Amino acid sequence: MRAVFINHCHPDTPHVCALRLRSFAEAMAARGHQIVLLTETLNMDDAGQDWSQLPDDLTSHDWSEPYRLAARPEHDETLSRLRQGKLPFGIRQLTIAMRYQRQSGVFGDWQEGAAAYLPSLARDFKPDVVWATFGNTDSWNIAKYLSKLSSCPWVADVKDNWKAFLPTGFRGVIAMRFQDAARMTTFSESHQAHTRQWFLEDATVVYSGFDAGAVEPDVMADGHRILLTGSLYDAGWAKELIQGIALWLVRREAGAPAVEFRYAGADSERAKELSAPLGDLCTVMINGFLPLEQLRALQAGAWVNAYMYSERALFQHKPIELLAAGRPILACPGESPEVMKIAEDVNGDLQTCRTAEEVARYLGSLAPSAEAKPMGEKMERYSWQGQAEILEGVLDAARGGS
């Protein structure tokens, strides 16, 4: 099939917002489909794709890979000031309300920039279906317009919390404007249940996954690595985790293997500050955003993989990523029933700890060394490749296939 995937974040953006659509575009291309990935430019000063060259580019493109189409947003001084926090209180709220009322979104500058490419996509690419993800509603606005131009269906994806991202008073109204989606997909079962409050179409769960390809573990030669990955969220819970690691380190017998505590993620400055108590007890390494290949190697070679659970999140992608590494996982301060069910389904080792004492006891219970669990067929179902098969079925059904 020929499909256009729409996401606000450019695929090279060093943030999780780029991961889902980029990875599924690649997985679907590997399955033999022609995929155009339409996003905003990586930087505001990037020129973006030359629209006049688009027909020739589409004709000559090697479709074993997705075609990346980056649209530069049109300049909008009001929206620029809104995002920079420069609009006065009252004016800010009024601007947001007016944009949702008139344009069904607050990224109209990107919508206008993308509009220049849509006639060519409809005429020269002739998509069978459009799939757009909700990180903001303007990706859906673009999908609706392209769907109309191309006389093809569009499918709405919900990867974020509708209630959290839409202002009070507009959630139901804006949802009604997108009821023409032929199908819906969601990030998790929790998102699926949440979405039922506003949308008539019952969604299909399509989890964000991991690359099923082999990984060469990055293992410490003479000790243990505790790897903390991702956002830290609540500082109090992060301190509880750090205190628990410190307790365990203090209680260990003399001559125990060396320990490295490492952090990798966007909260590197906070991690450096919060992990200061570990400085006299073990080696501390703080990394920022790492290339995915390097991060997966560290996760596969960790003694323990740790992450912070956000009690406000409907679902986090991080546990699926860590379960794929086959190492013991420590989630602080808890985890959702849905994630615990997935961990049980794939025979993963995921432990939740709420207090420093629980963290210390859990670390003390682990064997000094253990073989990584091999990734079985059940785990592979949660890979990008496995979930792409589900997505393929949804998109095929939307366009009237079997």
CA-CA distance, 260 to 221, in Å (whole number)?
11
pLDDT (average), residues 103-118: 92
**Which tens digit of pLDDT belongs to each residue from 344-353?**
999 999 999 9
Sign of CA dihedral 39, 167, 319, 389: negative
- Are residue 232 and residue 181 in the same domain, yes or no? no
The pTM for the full model equals 0.92
- Are residue 133 and residue 257 in the same domain, yes or no? no
Note whether 156 and 184 are within 8 A (CB): yes
The answer to whether residue 237 sits within a structural domain is: yes
- Looking at per-residue confidence, does 83 or 172 come out higher? 172
pLDDT (average), residues 349-373: 89
**Which tens digit of pLDDT belongs to each residue from 264-283?**
998 999 999 999 999 999 99
Q: Identify the band that residue 76 occupies on the pLDDT scale cut at 50, 70 and 90.
A: confident
pLDDT (average), residues 131-154: 96
pLDDT (average), residues 219-244: 94
The answer to whether residue 228 sits within a structural domain is: yes
- Looking at per-residue confidence, does 375 or 91 come out higher? 91
Examine the pLDDT at 402 and tell me if it is beyond 50.
Answer: no
The answer to whether residue 352 sits within a structural domain is: yes
- Looking at per-residue confidence, does 322 or 222 come out higher? 322
The answer to whether residue 215 sits within a structural domain is: no
Q: What percent of the chain is modeled with pLDDT above 90?
A: 78
The answer to whether residue 216 sits within a structural domain is: no
CATH number of the domain at 180, please.
Answer: 3.40.50.2000
- Are residue 150 and residue 46 in the same domain, yes or no? yes
- Are residue 236 and residue 180 in the same domain, yes or no? no
Examine the pLDDT at 401 and tell me if it is beyond 80.
Answer: no
Q: Identify the band that residue 374 occupies on the pLDDT scale cut at 50, 70 and 90.
A: low
CA-CA distance, 309 to 186, in Å (whole number)?
20
- Are residue 26 and residue 125 in the same domain, yes or no? yes
Instruction: Pull the structure tokens for residue 250.
Output: 């203090």
- Number of other residues whose CB lies within 10 A of the CB of residue 176: 12
- Are residue 352 and residue 391 in the same domain, yes or no? no
Confidence at residue 51, expressed as pLDDT on a 0 to 100 scale:
86
Of 1-15, 84-98, 326-340, which range is least confident? 84-98
The answer to whether residue 53 sits within a structural domain is: yes
The answer to whether residue 217 sits within a structural domain is: no
- Are residue 363 and residue 236 in the same domain, yes or no? yes
Closest to 397 measured CA to CA, from 146, 70, 121, 155: 155
Backbone angles phi, psi at 197, to 5 degrees: -70, -25
- Are residue 253 and residue 203 in the same domain, yes or no? no
**Which tens digit of pLDDT belongs to each residue from 143-178?**
999 999 999 999 999 999 998 888 889 999 999 999
**Which tens digit of pLDDT belongs to each residue from 294-344?**
999 999 999 999 999 998 889 999 999 999 999 999 999 999 999 999 999
- Are residue 117 and residue 234 in the same domain, yes or no? no
Q: Identify the band that residue 141 occupies on the pLDDT scale cut at 50, 70 and 90.
A: very high
- Looking at per-residue confidence, does 221 or 156 come out higher? 156
Note whether 304 and 329 are within 8 A (CB): yes
Closest to 227 measured CA to CA, from 277, 273, 276, 271: 271
**Which tens digit of pLDDT belongs to each residue from 23-68?**
999 999 999 999 999 999 998 889 888 989 999 999 999 999 999 9
The answer to whether residue 172 sits within a structural domain is: yes
Confidence at residue 371, expressed as pLDDT on a 0 to 100 scale:
64
- Are residue 230 and residue 142 in the same domain, yes or no? no
Confidence at residue 255, expressed as pLDDT on a 0 to 100 scale:
85
- Are residue 110 and residue 90 in the same domain, yes or no? yes
Secondary structure element (H or E) that encloses residue 252, with its range: none
Answer left, alpha or beta for residue 129, where phi above 0 means left and psi between -120 and 50 means alpha.
beta
- Are residue 390 and residue 339 in the same domain, yes or no? no
Closest to 314 measured CA to CA, from 215, 180, 217, 196: 196
Rg of the chain's alpha carbons, rounded to an integer? Answer: 23
Total number of domains in the chain: 2
Who's near 233: CB < 8 A, 6+ residues apart? 308, 309, 310
Mean pLDDT across the chain: 93
Domain around 328: 223-375
